[in-house]
Structure 1
Amino acid sequence: MALLLAEYCADNGQPWVLPVVKKVQQQIVHDPTLSHEYLSVRGLPEFNRATTALILGADSIAIVEKRADSIQVPGGCGSLCMGARFLKKWYTITHPKAVAIYISSPSWETHMTVFQEAGFMDIFKYRYWDNENLCVAIHKWLEDLQNAPEYSIVVLHIAAHWPTAMDPTPAEWKQIAEVMKRKKQFPFFYVTAQGLASGDLNKDAWPVRHFVTERFELFCAQSFGKNFGLYNDRVGSLTVVSRDNYTLIRIRSQMELAARQTWSNPPRYGARIVATILNNPAFFAEWRENLKRMAERLMLLKEKLKEELRTLGTLRSWEHITRQIGLFIYPGFTDFQIDYLMKKKHIYLSSIAQINISLINSQNLTYIAQCINEAVLSNPEDMKL
């Protein structure tokens, strides 16, 4: 039984297609005016406008002052890659010393390699996770930012940090912004599932919007795979917030050149679905309800798993999994327990034991909880109580 797939799955174990996405797909298929012509280098204009407003808020001061815009890219990784290459070529010119990159520990391995491939040499990790208390290590994180050089680029996850599934509180984000402003550091946000983390689009976007109100220049890489269920359509966006409109125009022209040299122009189909939903009030309202339904089910599954483990008397508290948000949970298994679950019980996890909670359903919940209980009991001294 594999619990490491990336898609949101329904109770039958199959990836769920959002009802509003089905409606829009049918509308596109039967629209006689649509063709397969190339998009511009920057992508679908209505997609770029809508995704900028989605993450920043339609009334954002950065939009009002015309110093924010987005460029369509192939997925979240494409967005991160575009941003990294731009920063290596242009950000480092204005800061003669070697610019340091700071990535959370733990984090996606891809994030490290993206910045390495872009040409950055000084790549460091800031402490994100407290493995003893199974929570965000905010004091260590702030200490690492304070000790980081001025003008460092800091990669910040929002809407469910990967892999820990736990984000800072608003008060903690304010502390992070305060240190980064003092150190003149550049925030590079990475957003994989706005709206799916908490069920509230605005709540999930709050950290980015707070940094904008604090007058940061920033990048924000967005992926629309999980929150629209468009996993294989590679729909992404890189949002730029600059100091003024003149700077934005220059950044945009260089990104257009980079896109031309890299993928020429992005794919249309997925972006058209996203743009249609975001720009149609009825579709947008339905999409928000779809997201809320998904997020509430994920929260309920975490509660059910916690209760099942409590009923079995499993030797530890499982409160942390119900504080985690989004599609995954980070249970804090030891290497022994991961090995036990995979080899003895054939429950296949990632190397860090991250679990796609949507794959736990009414048919397998009891069995999975029993297997976890056995893994803990098999070597209880190896488990942090």
Structure 2
Amino acid sequence: MSSTFSGLEKSGIDPIINLMIACGKDQHPKKIDLSVGVYKNEECDPNYVFPCVKAAKEALLKNDPGHYYTQLEGIPEYLACAQKTIFGKECPNATSVQAIAGSGALHMACTLLKSVGFQDFYIGAPTWSNYRGIIEHIGGSYLEYPYYNYKTRNVDMESIKQTIKNVKIKSVFVLQTACHNPTACDLSHEQWKEVFDLILSKGHFLVFDNAYQGLSSGNVDEDAWPIREAYLRKMEFIACQTYSKNLGLYSERVGCIHVCTWDLKEKENVESKLIAICRNEVSFPPAFGSRVVALVATDPELKKIWAKDVLNAAARLKDMRKKAVDWFTKLKTPGDWTHIMSLSGLFWFSGLSKLQTQKLIEEHHIYILSNGRINVAGLNNANVEYFCRCVDRVVRDYPVA
């Protein structure tokens, strides 16, 4: 008797997950994990808890709110502070609903847009691997265009503009606001303005993926500039938000979707649709992480600590970039490594070849993605010299043809 599932094909695992598993099994004393995009402190502790989060958790435990159902759209105080984090204030034209972190917010955004007739979703490459799965899961068409210029090691603005100009109307463009994954190359304010003008003139729709707010500049307000500028222009757009990175709440899955509309009736319809999506997918959103965020964002003292935490994180990342450049310069490593300092946030798109990344893993126990993306937060004062010497070695031993 054959199984009901006999025709089911095995799904592939995201390469990042496989790398996580392999790294976890490696017991080499000099192992360095530069794979997964999480912030780590100077000790490179993956379980590092931001001081503001630690204080908020302790406060919550002293005044335990229990575990009863919240509201379908999320805890009101959390939604209010999520809006303030994104927009700088509460926004009456934004419909905000709690989501299961950034992935959940993006899935809700794509589901909503598909329901009103959007089919084509444009993503700049290279990019985060999960976009494709999310878009194809809701029946959308996943389409790529060049976001990054490999020769200049910067944003390919001409490609972005030509794509927006030439694709059919009513297309969706998903753009990351800050700390671009994987390239670490963000649009400047002037480039954002060009994008906004083109999006409006061509009748497209913009989705912001706001995953690393604060970790680029060290200031959550500065990193939210593109979203706030779009709001000032009275654009219709969606902003997808997560506190996984800038508060280290990875496993709590604390996110939010914000849909900006400028018509009261449309806003009511959008809210009802988002709540229906939430009800169908997760019913009531989880509460603990969102309560932590709400406490951090509303308590004046904790908010000050958070601002300092984010500033310190960004400063540490910048310091590790400088130390890496200094070591490559000292070692006279072949190639130009000065571009590292022009980047910001967690990542460095190194330009290392697939073979070189493979050799770093096999010969030196340094785990990075095959596309050359490096999580700078995995470096510290104790391992940066070893890392740079190993990169120097593989660049010399396995040169790119």
TM-score normalised over the length of structure 2: 0.89
* Equivalent pair of 1:48/1:69 in contact (CA under 8 Å): no
Does the 8 A contact of 2:41 with 2:313 survive in 1?
A: no
Structure 1 moving runs of 4+ over 6 Å: none
1:326-380 residue CA offsets vs partner (Å, 9 max, x unmatched): 1121111122321221222221211212111111112211111011111111233
Check if 1:220 corresponds to 2:239.
yes
**Matches of 2:227 and 2:332, distance apart in 1:** 41
1:289 CA drift (Å): 0.8
Aligned pair partner of 1:113 in 133, 156, 159: 133
Out of 328, 351, 358, the position equivalent to 1:309 is 328
Q: In 2, Cα distance between the equivalents of 1:27 and 1:186?
A: 41
8 Å CA contact 2:95–2:270 kept in 1: the answer is no
1:26 to 53, 58, 65: 58
1:318 aligns with 2:302: no
Describe the superposition over 1:46-76 as per-residue Cα deviations: whole angstroms up to 9, x where unpaired. 11111112111217xxx2xx21131011111
**1:99 & 1:21 partners in 2: Cα distance?**
39
Q: Name 2:105's counterpart in structure 1.
A: 79
Q: Does 1:54 align with 2:85?
A: yes
2:252 matches 1:233 = yes
Structure-to-structure mapping, 1:1-385, within 5 angstroms: 1=31, 2-15=33-46, 16-32=48-64, 34-58=65-89, 63=91, 66-89=92-115, 91-92=116-117, 99-120=119-140, 122-382=141-401
Give the conservation status (yes or no) of the 8 Å contact 2:101–2:253.
yes
**Structure 2 residue runs without a partner (length 5+):** 1-30
Per the alignment, in what secondary structure is the counterpart of residue 344 of structure 1? helix
Q: Contact 1:42–1:72 (CA<8 Å) still a contact in 2?
A: yes
Aligned 8 A contact 2:358 2:370 in 1: no
Q: Provide the rounded CA distance (Å) in 2 between the counterparts of 1:109 and 1:6.
A: 12
Q: Deviations over 1:137-181 (max 9, x none)?
A: 111111111111111110011121111111011111111111111
CA-to-aligned-CA distance 1:164-200 (integer Å, 9 cap, x gap):
1110111111111111111011000101111112101
Q: Is the 8 A contact 2:93 2:260 kept in 1?
A: yes
Distance 1:275 1:217 in 2: 26
Q: Do the aligned partners of 1:99 and 1:152 also contact (CA within 8 Å) in 2?
A: yes
Partner SS for 1:72: strand
Displacement of 1:27? 0.5
Q: How many residues were matched structurally?
A: 369
3-state DSSP class of the match of 1:363?
Answer: coil
Give me the whole-angstrom Cα distance separating, in 2, the residues matched to 1:165 and 1:303.
15
The amino acid that maps onto 2:110 is: A
Q: Output the amino acid matched with 1:6.
A: G
Query: Is the 8 Å Cα contact of residues 73 and 236 (structure 1) preserved in structure 2?
Result: yes
Q: State percent identity of aligned pairs.
A: 29
What secondary structure, in the 3-state scheme, does the structure 2 residue paired with 1:227 have? coil
SS in 1 for 2:364: coil
Letter in 2 for 1:271: S
Equivalent position amino acid for 2:288 in 1:
Y
User: C-alpha distance in 2, partners of 1:319/1:248?
Assistant: 48
Amino acid at match of 1:189: F
Unmatched 5+ stretches in structure 1: 93-97
Give the Cα separation in 2 of the matches to 1:36 and 1:201. 30
| TM-score, with structure 1 as normaliser | 0.93
Distance between the aligned counterparts of 2:229 and 2:82, measured in 1? Answer: 17
Structure 2 contact 173–207 (Cα < 8 Å) conserved:
yes
**1:184 and 1:215 mapped to 2: Cα distance?**
14
Q: Distance in 2 between matches of 1:275 and 1:149?
A: 41
Give per-residue Cα distances to partners, 1:191-230, cap 9 Å, x unaligned.
Answer: 1111112101121001111112222101111110110011
Residue identity in the other structure for 1:298: L
RMSD: 1.4
